[in-house]
Amino acid sequence: GLNYPVALSGETPDLGNFTIKIIDGSDNQIPKIPALRNHKPIDLNKAQYWGHLVPKGDTWRAKGSRFLDYLNNLFSERKRKSFADESDPSPPHLLSIPNNIQEDSNLYIFQLMAEAPFQFDILFKSTSSPVDLEDFTSILESKSKNFDVRFENTFGLASKGFDENQINFAHEILSNLIGGIGSYMNVREDEENFWDESRQANPKLTSPSSLFTATPSRPFFPRGFYWDEGFHQLLIGNWDNDLSLDIIKHWISLIDDDGWVPREFQTQYPHYANPPTLLMPLEAFLDRLDNESKLQHSIDDLSSHIANFTNFASTRYLNDINLAEKYLKEIYSKLKLNYKWFRRTQRGEIKKWGRSASNSEEAYRWRGRTPGHTLTSGLDDYPRPTPPHPAELHVDLMCWVGFMARSLRDIAKRLDEWNDFEEFDAQYKNIVNNLYDLHWNEVDKIFCDISFDGEKSIYVCHKGYISLFPMLLGLLPNDSPKLDAILDLIYNPDELWSPYGLRSLSKSSEFYYTGEKYWRGPIWININYLALSSLYKNYIAKPGPYQHKADKIYKELRDNIIKNIYKEYKRTGYAWEQYSAINGEGAR
């Protein structure tokens, strides 16, 4: 074996010259193992090692089957032959890896054996970095103290009246989100010629690609997820603006020449979409940029701002408007491609099914529908028209495309792309007009999906999150009577209102808590967040006839959600992706 600390030095095109050190914990206890009669004992005070040459491009699969198969075969062979003459060889004897290195190895495995509890440090040192992590313990203690100060300066929870236990909960949630950020390699299975009409798939594996991203759940779902990532970056961007922009740029770099975003872990079809949530943190970045600009017009505010924020967060793109515009220019063409892809591939029909609207083009339907699911929408089993029909139009998708048009319009304005600005602005207005013309059911006072019954176009109304999307994404003006109807739907305890948050599907629906019970009643925090965010920014901050009603709902809903999530965290030790509308319990 090798004495600690173990050092591995090398060079790669991506990392340059580097050293990795493995340092054993000073308090670690080695396993107590019985002596062998016929074999030399293993020195467990040392690290065991193994080096192997793997094919180029396969080193990222170190945890894959090839290495595991090798070890399984080794251990089986050892148990059957090498220690056959021993009555009870212990696990350290059977499972220690061989101390040998193949010539020109590019994959190295190091093994530490210790009794639990134990600890060890793995330190990465780049020759291009001035940072020295040798005294890691003291650095960690210093960073931990800095975290608490930075957290309060960023979010101000103590100043808002939250107690120490609630703030510790918030610390843990943010820490887990930040801790889930990583660079992931993946191979996708793409289907290039799969369309709803043919249903003949012939998927093919792509070459490996990498993605820098946060993850929805470190133990359960340790990979990037497009639908979730926009929500992750809303929080990460507040904590570290530049880190968030880097992650967003990695996702946007995946957009191909056709405008499609390849995604995650299931077979992908290049005409299947997902909600374009990454534009949400980009809008938030633009808001921070505007706030920074306003602060810099006041010397007093600026000095306070520098003391409380700039020393802690990574804010180069907020402090340098030229750098910010450079970033926007670098991602702008890809964002336009994706928007045009959305409009082209998710287009729905108006005149073909006897409908009329202010504009003949703005209508959309999710591709990838099945009788029980619309996975592409992100709302999985939420009730939709049954059976699926090509005449369908989906109100949430219409709102997402309108949201894209408005976001790109705002970016175009900042970049002085005035022809684009006028095009996006006209499309946004047409979408809003058609949203009213096509999806508003005046009889029931609700926004609905639409389909075709064989003779005419019909509304398919399932009260729930789908009904809220024009408000959630801010497509309704604050003086619209339609807003008043949505607020009534939200605040009705027989419909969406519960003591724990907004139900995904109305309590009055025949589908409430049926089937998978996934988006058919349980409370989802991402949609509840959209509701709170939109109420706050669009309908409380601006004077209007429904301002007081919006403010009352906002305060009660926010209080209900925070209390229940914290209650369930104390009960279970976890935050959950959804909560029961019946008793508030977290699930999944």
pLDDT at 310 exceeding the cut of 90: no
pLDDT of residue 107: 85
Asked whether the CA dihedral 349, 354, 358, 359 is positive or negative, the reply is positive
pLDDT at 345 exceeding the cut of 90: yes
Q: What is the per-residue pLDDT across 388-401, written as a single tens digit (0 to 9) for each?
A: 999 999 999 999 99
pLDDT of residue 66: 65
Would you call 43 a catalytic residue per the annotation?
no
Q: Nearest 5 degrees, angle CA 273-CA 279-CA 280?
A: 115
* Residues 505 and 520 sit within 8 Å (Cβ to Cβ): yes
- Residues 289 and 157: their CA atoms lie apart, in Å, by 23
Weakest mean pLDDT among 64-78, 101-115, 423-437, 468-482 = 64-78
pLDDT of residue 540: 97
pLDDT at 308 exceeding the cut of 90: no
Query: How sure is the predictor about 265, in pLDDT bands with cuts at 50, 70 and 90?
Result: low
* Residues 364 and 281 sit within 8 Å (Cβ to Cβ): no
- Average pLDDT value for residue range 565-575: 95
- Residues 293 and 325: their CA atoms lie apart, in Å, by 13
- Residues 310 and 540: their CA atoms lie apart, in Å, by 29
Percent of the chain surpassing pLDDT 90:
69
pLDDT of residue 559: 97
Would you call 577 a catalytic residue per the annotation?
yes
Query: How sure is the predictor about 292, in pLDDT bands with cuts at 50, 70 and 90?
Result: confident
pLDDT at 1 exceeding the cut of 80: yes
- Average pLDDT value for residue range 272-298: 88
Query: How sure is the predictor about 312, in pLDDT bands with cuts at 50, 70 and 90?
Result: very low
Query: How sure is the predictor about 220, in pLDDT bands with cuts at 50, 70 and 90?
Result: confident
Pairing outcome for strands 578-579 and 523-524:
antiparallel
Q: What is the per-residue pLDDT across 530-560, written as a single tens digit (0 to 9) for each?
A: 999 999 999 999 999 999 999 999 999 999 9
* Residues 99 and 50 sit within 8 Å (Cβ to Cβ): yes
What is 252-283 written as a DSSP string?
HHT--TTS----SSS-B-TT-----TTHHHHH
Q: Which residue type sits at 462? A: H
Alpha helices in 78-163 (DSSP H): 91-95, 136-155
Which is nearest to 214 in space by CA: 246, 256, 172, 259? 246
Which residue is catalytic, options 410, 425, 577, 585?
A: 577
- Average pLDDT value for residue range 422-444: 98
Instruction: Give the CA-trace dihedral at 73, 79, 84, 88, to 10 degrees.
Output: 180
Structure tokens at 537: 């920014």
pLDDT at 191 exceeding the cut of 70: no
Please state, as a whole number, how many other Cβ atoms lie within 10 Å of the Cβ of residue 10.
12
Structure tokens at 10: 């090398």
Q: What is the per-residue pLDDT across 496-511, written as a single tens digit (0 to 9) for each?
A: 999 999 999 999 999 9
**pTM more than 0.95:** no
pLDDT at 286 exceeding the cut of 80: yes
Q: What contacts 37, CB < 8 A, 6 or more positions away? A: 85, 86
- Residues 131 and 139: their CA atoms lie apart, in Å, by 11
Structure tokens at 572: 């279970």
CA distances from 150 to 175, 242, 295, 521 (A): 13, 16, 19, 38
* Residues 260 and 385 sit within 8 Å (Cβ to Cβ): no
Query: How sure is the predictor about 298, in pLDDT bands with cuts at 50, 70 and 90?
Result: low
Which is nearest to 218 in space by CA: 275, 263, 178, 265? 178
Q: Which residue type sits at 545? A: P
Which residue is catalytic, options 380, 437, 479, 484?
A: 380
pLDDT of residue 573: 92
Structure tokens at 235: 């929080």
pLDDT of residue 80: 64
Pairing outcome for strands 100-101 and 48-52:
parallel
